[in-house]
Structure 1
Amino acid sequence: MIYRAIIWLLCISFVNAAENAYQPQHGDIVFQSLPNPWGKDLVDMIEGATGSPYSHCGMVIIEGGKWQVIEAIGPVQMIPLEAWQARGRGKKIWAYRPAEKFRKYIPNMVKVMKKDLGKPYDIRYRLDSEDIYCSELLYRGWKEVTGKPLGKLVKLHELNWQPYRKIIVAIEGSEEIPLQREIITPRDLAQAHELTKVWPIPETQQ
């Protein structure tokens, strides 16, 4: 009886652990806070200018029967989901899922993004260059397939850019700040009405 009770408790523990873990789906868009040493100035600027912990993002896909994340981190690449999550600060992950009516676009979106594999990271965050940054990869892939934007483009002057003037000047190689430059930030991508946050599970759904 004691043995059966132990087995039962272990089974319950495994079930609870599974329920309390992120359950990925093909096409989920995931966000993380990059470790500051990875690119301290850039990470601080992205998070500080947007007032959000999201400094990086990618899309979860099935590749060769395994969960991968396609991302633009320099260069555009695919990385195992487990390794992607482990890289984030505190191994924390946020996941957003496209609404059901948009899921039909995901296969073609993945094909479009794969065309960018190997492209270098765009440290200047321009939408009109061959180089590409994380949220731009997803934004461009979505727009090419659906014909519509994912999230809202913002101009640099709309962000809290002032504390990061020195970083911007160093990146641009000029004292002239491109205040009218349009950017799709991880924060603004996550706020797209086509997406629903699925992890961590919102308290109202627990």
Structure 2
Amino acid sequence: MRWSVLLAVWLGAHGAVAAPRGGLEETLRTGDIVLHTSRSRQSQFIQVATESPLSHVGMVEVTPEGTWVVEAVQPVQRVPFAKWKARGAKGRIMVLRPKELSDAQRQQAVAAAKAHLGKPYDLRFTWDDEAMYCSELVRKAYAQGAGVEYGKMERLGSLKLKGLEQPLRERYGKVPLDLELVTPASLAVDARLEMVYSDFPSVR
């Protein structure tokens, strides 16, 4: 018994034991796009503005050491998938997969996303590369890594802003209605992305 314990400790210390994958995690592939409902205060505003419960998005990376999600929060980071999923409201998740891209293209897109690790979260939803918000990271990663732009750019003023005037003024002062941005909801309805899994009722 003692030797088996010592062996397990040694293997764990040397990275020889891969993290187990089960259930939904077994179906994930590098480059999958995962969405959930964030529990942040900002999430409430995003849900109202987009009329969708999908308020946060990241990209999956599957490795021998486990499954990860690259996401733009504060700062852009790479976290274990199980931790990312647990952060979503009610544990609900949607998984989308590019229909016509190779494994290599999806890997290149994830590599492009990881190039932004450590950057601050962009609270103002601008389109420069100094800071990133979640759906911006996904769209840019696939554009840079695979030459495909998922989701669509929309004017802030085209979203459902009734009731959000005060928080928008607090953030911007004069609200930039012509600001162009991409939302998680826009990514979710892109027909070039296949739905692999969802436990969101009446979404898509």
Structure 1 length normalisation: TM-score? 0.80
Residue number in structure 1 paired with 2:35:
31
Return the alpha-carbon distance in structure 2 between the equivalents of residues 74 and 88 of structure 1. 16
Poorly superposed stretches of 4+, deviation over 2 Å: 100-104, 145-148, 200-203
Structure 1 residue 111 displacement after superposition: 1.4
Asked whether the 8 Å contact 1:151–1:193 carries over to 2, the reply is: no
Residue number in structure 2 paired with 1:85:
85
Residue number in structure 2 paired with 1:123:
123
Cα deviation per residue 1:127-172 (whole Å; 9 max; x = unaligned)? 1251100000011111112333211111111100131111111111
Structure 1 residue 119 displacement after superposition: 0.4
Asked whether the 8 Å contact 1:75–1:117 carries over to 2, the reply is: yes
Match of 2:164, SS? helix
Cα deviation per residue 1:64-88 (whole Å; 9 max; x = unaligned)? 5310000001100011000111111
Residue number in structure 2 paired with 1:60:
60
The 1:58/1:136 distance shift into structure 2, 3 A limit, reads same
Structure 1 residue 60 displacement after superposition: 0.9
Match of 1:82, SS? helix
Aligned pairs for 1:132-171 (under 5 A) are: 132-171=132-171
Q: Are 2:198 and 1:200 equivalent residues in the alignment?
A: yes
Match of 1:177, SS? coil
Match of 2:105, SS? helix
Structure 1 residue 191 displacement after superposition: 1.6
Return the alpha-carbon distance in structure 1 between the equivalents of residues 111 and 129 of structure 2. 20
**How many pairs does the alignment contain?**
179
Return the alpha-carbon distance in structure 1 between the equivalents of residues 131 and 35 of structure 2. 20
- Runs of at least 5 residues in structure 1 that lack an aligned partner in the other structure: 1-16
Residue number in structure 1 paired with 2:15:
none
Aligned pairs for 1:5-24 (under 5 A) are: 18=23, 21=24, 23-24=27-28
Note the aligned Cα RMSD (angstroms).
Answer: 2.0
